[in-house]
Amino acid sequence: MTIAERIMARHSSANTSRSGICKALTVALLFTAATGLQAKMDDARVYEPVAPTIDQARANILIARQLQFTHFRDLGMSDELSGDVFDAYLEYLDGQRIYLTQEDLNKFDRVKTQLGSALKTGQLQPGFDIYNLVQQRVIDRLRFALNLVGQGIDQLDFNRNESILLDRSDASWEADQQALDELWVKRIKNAVLAQRLNGADDETIEDNLQRRYEGQLKRAYQARSEDAFQAYMNAFTGMWDPHTSYFSPRTSENFNINMSLSLEGIGAVLQSDNEYTKVVRLVPGGPASKQGQLQPADRIVSVTQEDEKAVNVIGWRLDEVVDLIRGPRNSVVTLEVIPANASDETITKAIAIKRDEVKLEEQSASKDVIELERGGSDYKIGVITIPTFYADFQAMQAGDPNYKSTTRDVRKLIAELEQDGVNGLVIDLRNNGGGALHEANDLVGLFIDQGPTVQIRNANNDVQVLNDEDPSIAYDGPLVVLTNRMSASASEIFAGAIQDYGRGLVVGSQTFGKGTVQAVRPLNHGQLKITQSKFYRVSGGSTQHKGVIPDIEIPSRIDKKRIGEDALDHALPWDQIEAVPHTRYFDFSGIIDELRKRHDERFATSPEFGLLQQEIDFLKKQREMDSVSLNMDERKNQHEQIERTRLTIANARRELRGEAPFESLEELEDWQDQQAADLDTTDDELDFVIREGGDIMADMLELDQHMASILTPQQYAAQTPTQ
């Protein structure tokens, strides 16, 4: 045990009168040791502050003008805005409040109220001063961490009744250097505990932590002027809305950092999230989507190439992480991620993904058939899954009469299903993040006569109405549309139009709520992606923020507090404009209560839903944990309880599939490793949510027949003009 640790051990049992002295001695000794050792190993490196360039100042002025005069939101440059930009900037640079102290923040009290006017005129130095201070504090912290690990983690005491806050984004800033030192001792203890509980020995843990902190330290010394400018501009542009952002010249080359289509990668959209790189969404048909383990909101900890050591990417720039993940086609990259549902950021899993291009045919719509019995009648329900709204623009422009698009493919699938004699149709839009707007417009047209499909309002309050001009209808039978939280943009336009027209029922969970339109505008230095208009349904309500609310709800594992437009800071609000004339094809008010009742009764006895609800409750309990113990015995008990629950849920799912249960957690993890190594874990079996969509459709058909038998022909025709 080091002198500092012995003092801390005494401090934990000391009386109140001695606690302040012990605390001061502990921090002083730890800091002195850290400084001394680091001076030996790193005395040659000095942080060089970054400074703004003339090109950046000019770009800043152009950005400010664009925001003020062309953005959808009318937001002035006020003192209040200055404070909000300051807070957002610190959120980006030190979102977990682990580098700066309250003493540091006090130095910027005067600057905090002046950022708005400075940004308006291209005065970037205040933002760069803040950036440089944070970088220096990052270096100080990492030096401290390296020293502590270098002394040997066996010197740390895990017998105390201590805990650490998992999410410090709303915590108070630590008062001074001493308090921050104590916090970092706890952070390192937490990292050590997590790896010990995962079976790593102390030598491996020390090596892992040293490589992690040395990698972050190297990045901190390599800070560039462009890093500071992009961070500062995004804190500024984010005041208008979360989809307005600045792209540096390098980032502009990889617009949206989207590793998809012609780019060889894993098919994922990534973004920075404090020190981490976070998965925003998966590209349908892409390698990650097909492999099945990577999920939205997972955070990437390390990247491993074939036959190489893992590279820790915490603290890396987004473009560098993307470059590391990309690679030759058919090669394998392994991502170590913190799962979105992890109880704390020390829980990770490895996911192996084979790189490939995302082929258009693998994003194409597909069909299936469900056969059901209801009230003595047999029903065949067609299912069409649409992963994205796509169109082969090159083939279209070349005049290819067989070019692929969502609408053309769905029309063909409908014709094939009708030849099979289906009685109803389910459209699955779950995890469909959108795509080509004109395809959403045309797809609505397959199910309605001529009419409006969506309204688009710009910053000048001018409203454009998109219409289906084709009077033909590809399918006029009963319809169910499945959605979830990852259904966004064009998916919401389609689902909202089907709901407004009374053309079908929306089933599932509330959609994402992305109801804005962006344009990319060139600057003298980089580009600005700016929100310029907003989508509205034909009934007048926006899809922004609220999304589409399903007629029949099915719970989801996805945490709505973390994923969705309403989970984003400064998101544009929901509002409404005038509705446009549109036909109501069916009034579901007479049967919706009975449909919901039958749905609830099925789910009350459904083993699949029972398991889903068990998972949701488990994940909710995990997310509600705001701290974890640093006591070894207590943490081990908590860890074992979580793992037992994981095993129970995994075995329950295997039982539903008629598979033998795992005897132990080790057996489960070995199986998961095999699945990851297999690189193709797709499950072709129709999931129970699709089957429930089919059951709801069968209920609709049965109730429709019942209504037809009790209503007069005139009443029935008035209620169901196109059925």
Name the E strands within 557-684: 627-629
Pairing of strands 527-536, 516-522: antiparallel
Q: State the DSSP H helix or E strand holding residue 529, giving kind and residue range, or none if neither.
A: strand 527-536
**Mind giving me the DSSP string for 674-710?**
HHHHHS-----SPPHHHHHHHHHHHHHHHHHHHHHHH
Q: Which residue has the tokens 């459709």?
A: 697
Cβ neighbours for 343, distance < 8 A, ≥ 6 positions apart: 166, 622, 623, 625, 628, 642
Q: Clarify whether 500 is annotated catalytic.
A: yes
**514, 542, 556, 704: the active-site residue:** 514
* SS3 call for 279: strand
**82, 245, 260, 489: the active-site residue:** 489
Identity of the amino acid at 561: K
Q: Per DSSP, what are the bridge partners of residue 351?
A: 335
Name the E strands within 375-471: 377-385, 424-428, 451-458, 463-468
Among residues 106, 105, 99, 173, the alpha carbon closest in space to that of 143 is found at 99
| CA torsion angle 274 280 286 292 (round to 10) | 90
The 10 Å Cβ neighbour count of residue 155 is 14
Separation CA 232–CA 245 (nearest Å): 11
Which two tokens mark 554?
A: 């099915």
Separation CA 127–CA 80 (nearest Å): 17
Separation CA 699–CA 424 (nearest Å): 11
The 10 Å Cβ neighbour count of residue 478 is 22
Q: Per DSSP, what are the bridge partners of residue 312?
A: 302
Q: Which residue has the tokens 């910053």?
A: 459
Q: State the DSSP H helix or E strand holding residue 243, giving kind and residue range, or none if neither.
A: none
* SS3 call for 261: coil
Q: Using alpha carbons only, give the angle 630, 632, 634 rounded to the nearest 5 degrees.
A: 85
| CA torsion angle 658 664 668 669 (round to 10) | 180
| CA torsion angle 205 210 213 217 (round to 10) | -170
Separation CA 598–CA 315 (nearest Å): 51
Which two tokens mark 650?
A: 């995994």
Which two tokens mark 181?
A: 């030192």
Identity of the amino acid at 260: S
Separation CA 85–CA 236 (nearest Å): 6
Q: Clarify whether 529 is annotated catalytic.
A: no
Q: Decide: 243 and 572 in contact? Cβ < 8 Å.
A: no
Q: Clarify whether 569 is annotated catalytic.
A: no
Among residues 390, 398, 21, the alpha carbon closest in space to that of 178 is found at 21
Separation CA 440–CA 446 (nearest Å): 10
What is the Rg, in whole angstroms, of the alpha carbon atoms belonging to the chain? 28
Q: Decide: 576 and 536 in contact? Cβ < 8 Å.
A: yes
Separation CA 564–CA 488 (nearest Å): 9
Q: State the DSSP H helix or E strand holding residue 238, giving kind and residue range, or none if neither.
A: none
**468, 500, 695, 699: the active-site residue:** 500
Separation CA 242–CA 38 (nearest Å): 40
Q: Decide: 60 and 124 in contact? Cβ < 8 Å.
A: yes
Give me the active site residues, please.
489, 500, 514
